[in-house]
Amino acid sequence: MTNCYCGNHNSFQNCCEPFLKGVENPKTAEVLMRSRYSAYATQNANYLVATTHISTRKFHKKSDILNWSKNNQWIKLEVLTTTETTVTFKAYYLDYQLKAQIHHEHSNFIFENGNWYYIDGIFL
């Protein structure tokens, strides 16, 4: 059994896939962020749009999300710090030229109407 894309030691089917399929909702900001990483790794732009807060969704075009997720090879996720509403992480990937890249971000989340949403992030 291989680990989930998000770095947890469970399989994708027993970790992030239920969130991406809408069967379950993430219970914390960190779980949402991990599932969003898995969505990038599996090119699930619908999930990424749906889990972006409505107040900032207009800044994230589905076609851009899909292109970015498809043009990169997602290697691993490293969660550095978390609070109830923030996650700082590094996402390692190979870009379209197969050059190693690190996306280092401090992300903000909000819990609203029983669901967690990504609001925005600061690139570090």
14-47 confidence digits (pLDDT tens): 999 999 999 999 999 999 999 999 999 999 999 9
Helix (H) or strand (E) holding 64: helix 62-70
Predicted confidence at residue 2, as pLDDT, reads: 76
Encoded tokens for 21: 């399929």
Instruction: Specify whether domain 12-123 bears CATH 3.10.450.50.
Output: yes
* Domain edges within the chain: 12-123
Task: Quote the CA–CA distance of 124 and 24 in Å, as a whole number.
Answer: 31
Closest CA to 83 of 108, 115, 111: 108
Query: What proportion of the chain, given as a percentage, has pLDDT over 90?
Result: 95
In the predicted structure, residue 56 carries a pLDDT above the cut 90: yes
Q: Mean pLDDT check: name the lowest of 56-60, 74-78, 111-115.
A: 56-60
Tell me how far apart the alpha carbons of residues 5 and 39 are, in angstroms, rounded to a whole number.
Answer: 9
